[in-house]
Amino acid sequence: MAHATTILFDSFKKELMNGSHALGTQAANGVRTVTTKDVLKAALFLTSDTTVVTTTTAYSTTGELAGTGNYTQGGVTVTNANLPSNTTNTAFWTPSASFVWANLTTSGATDAVEIYNDSSTGKLAIMLCAFGTQSVTAGTFTLTMPTNDASTGLIRITS
């Protein structure tokens, strides 16, 4: 893959139907009560060095950033205070805080972030978000999250 594109992984779509992910908590909904959110992580990648494609099913370090400073493979924990929500035709969810890496130096460049479910045994892949090639030298790298709504939410499922 030459440059990253944003991908909602095929396996994630199916796993949603199976109840494999808890992006938020929900009071009794008639079927299942979820009281604990899954721990999600965000890891930086250079997609020209990896095989992250729509059929990716689990997080892997292949192609993940190898940096110095504050970067540790596996990424940062996603702050998740937003509940999944919906409007008439669109369900949506967005992390409640930006992803931040302080004192980061990349060895080369990075162009995407993979979000995955660290609570699951297999570290299930959720999505890859492209942001364009970036290089950082001893600086703070921040990926700002969009507004959590039906028009700009990070994950949107529309009927």
Which pLDDT belongs to residue 35? 66
Handedness of CA 72, 53, 143, 135 (dihedral sign): positive
Q: Are strands 155-158 and 110-117 parallel, antiparallel or unpaired?
A: unpaired
Q: Where are the domains of the chain?
A: 7-22+37-147
* For range 48-74, the mean pLDDT: 79
* For range 60-84, the mean pLDDT: 84
Query: pLDDT > 90: what percent of the chain?
Result: 29
Least confident of 10-14, 74-78, 110-114: 10-14
Alpha-carbon span 119 to 34, nearest angstrom: 14
Q: State pLDDT tens for residues 77-120.
A: 999 888 888 898 998 989 999 999 988 888 767 888 999 999 88
pTM for the model stands at 0.85
Alpha-carbon span 95 to 85, nearest angstrom: 12
Binned at pLDDT 50, 70 and 90, residue 3 comes out as very low
Q: State pLDDT tens for residues 19-51.
A: 677 777 665 555 556 667 888 999 998 877 666
Alpha-carbon span 18 to 68, nearest angstrom: 39
Mean predicted lDDT score pLDDT of the chain: 82
